Amino acid sequence: MTTIAVVEGDGIGHEVIPVARNVLALLHPEYDFIDVEVGYGRWERTGCPCTDPDIARLKTADAILFGAITTPPMKDYQSVVLRIRKALDLYTNLRPVHGDGFDIMIVRENTEGLYSGIEEVTPDRATTLRIVSRKGTERIARAAIRLARQRGGMLTIGHKANVIKSDVFFRDICIAEATAAGIPFNDKFIDALSLDLLQHPRNYSVVVTTNMFGDILSDVAAYLVGGLGLVPSANIGDHYALFEPVHGSAPDIAGKNIANPIAAVRSAAMMLDYLGDRAGSQRVERAVRHLVAAGICTRDLCGHAGTQEFGDALLHHLRHPEP
């Protein structure tokens, strides 16, 4: 039996993740869902946002559907997302952005860089250690190369090697891996890449970059398709996989039934593909596109549907697809 761990998280996670869960349950009634509560809400109630037993439960699942997590700006609060990524070694972050005439996959190293978690704060200085290791760079480069080979496209290496020595290290290892694999590649400074990707998205297929740069670049790229409410992501390691919408917990709109659940639903579609149901994944994508084209969408896309109403319409269309 396939087991899916469901983490609703905080804020709008309690609204958008149930929509995605219902889609999975409709297409695969045999799936077994287990609920795991982690996040800021858990911390407010118990004083601990995520425990070792929580991590152990997540490891029992075949895949994890993960909602948005609030991370307050408190120096003694440990990021739940970073803890889970490290505990499950989810080193590959995949963020697809596809639209009219372009299909881009941003491959982000997910466990190192400025999200190393090694920090020091004093009255006069705050320091974050940026880690770029050979092992971490080789394995993310190889993951990106596999995708570039599958897609038959160019690999673009994003970096800031003109300023940062660790980016020289990252760039050179990625170039060596691409050369050895016989994959066509180019490399661009991350600031120029961010602009050019928006101006000429059709020129890009697979982009690989470091943790922070990948986080920013993928958010920027969401502009091409209508914003963060539409963009899914996958966090994949050698043994575990977690799927989550790119957007945050949005506490200002939580509980108002106006959050866009498409990113969460598309994350579930990525999960289906990961679990071997590519047909189901494509079916969900077609259903989402159909509803948006028909004007059935939330207010961020100039529609009038609420979160729940969109979810209901999606389930109806999946049960009774129109020609």
CA distance to 16, 96, 158, per residue, from 185 (Å)? 37, 19, 11
In a domain, 131, yes or no: yes
Do 98 and 219 belong together in one domain? Answer: yes
| CATH code of 273's domain | 3.40.718.10
Q: What is residue 235's predicted lDDT score, i.e. its pLDDT?
A: 97
Domain's final residue, options 227, 248, 279: 227
Per-residue pLDDT of the chain in tens (323 residues, 90 and over written 9): 899 999 999 999 999 999 999 999 999 999 999 999 999 889 989 888 999 999 999 999 999 999 988 888 776 777 888 899 999 999 999 999 999 999 999 999 999 999 888 889 899 999 999 999 999 999 999 999 999 999 999 999 999 999 999 999 999 999 999 999 999 999 999 999 999 999 999 999 999 999 999 999 999 999 999 999 999 999 999 999 999 998 889 999 999 999 999 999 999 999 999 999 999 999 999 999 999 999 999 999 999 999 999 999 999 999 987 76
In a domain, 232, yes or no: no
Q: What is residue 323's predicted lDDT score, i.e. its pLDDT?
A: 62
CA distance to 94, 127, 153, 179, 218, per residue, from 139 (Å)? 14, 27, 19, 15, 20
Q: How many CB atoms lie within 10 A of CB 204?
A: 23
In a domain, 144, yes or no: yes
Do 73 and 142 belong together in one domain? Answer: no
Task: Report the distance separating Cα 105 and Cα 110, nearest Å.
Answer: 15
Domain's final residue, options 227, 255, 281: 227
Domain's final residue, options 227, 257, 283: 227
Task: Report the distance separating Cα 246 and Cα 67, nearest Å.
Answer: 9
Nearest CA among 18, 45, 10 for reference residue 253:
10
Counted domains in the chain? 2
Q: How many CB atoms lie within 10 A of CB 176?
A: 13
Print the domain residue range for 156.
Answer: 92-227
Do 263 and 319 belong together in one domain? Answer: yes
